[in-house]
Amino acid sequence: MAISEGKPKNSRRPGLSARQKKRNRQRSSIRARVEHLFRVIKRQFGYTKVRYKGLAKNQTQVFALMGLVNIYLLRNQLRA
């Protein structure tokens, strides 16, 4: 059985137009890259809760973690 390209099954609303699908695909590819960074920060570095009450200290810590994530994700290229 083939998947239909029209509206979703059991839906009263019409399906997405080709323009909307293209826009969603572009946005989802960017979103996937960003979400991957947050996964590394949360799982690899254990940053799930803020430690400080002030915004400046938390902001500094997040910026440092972002830098470390970039190094972590490029670690195989940096070894070469």
Give the per-residue pLDDT at 5.
61
Give the per-residue pLDDT at 1.
47
DSSP string, 40-68: IIIIIS---S---SSHHHHHHHHHHHHHH
CA–CA distances in Å: residue 11 to residues 4, 8, 15, 57? 13, 6, 9, 48
Give the per-residue pLDDT at 4.
56
Give the per-residue pLDDT at 6.
63
Give the per-residue pLDDT at 35.
92
Please give the chain's pLDDT, 80 residues, in tens. Answer: 455 566 667 777 778 889 999 999 999 999 998 899 999 999 999 888 888 889 999 999 999 999 999 999 999 998 98
Give the per-residue pLDDT at 72.
93
Token pair for 22: 């293209």
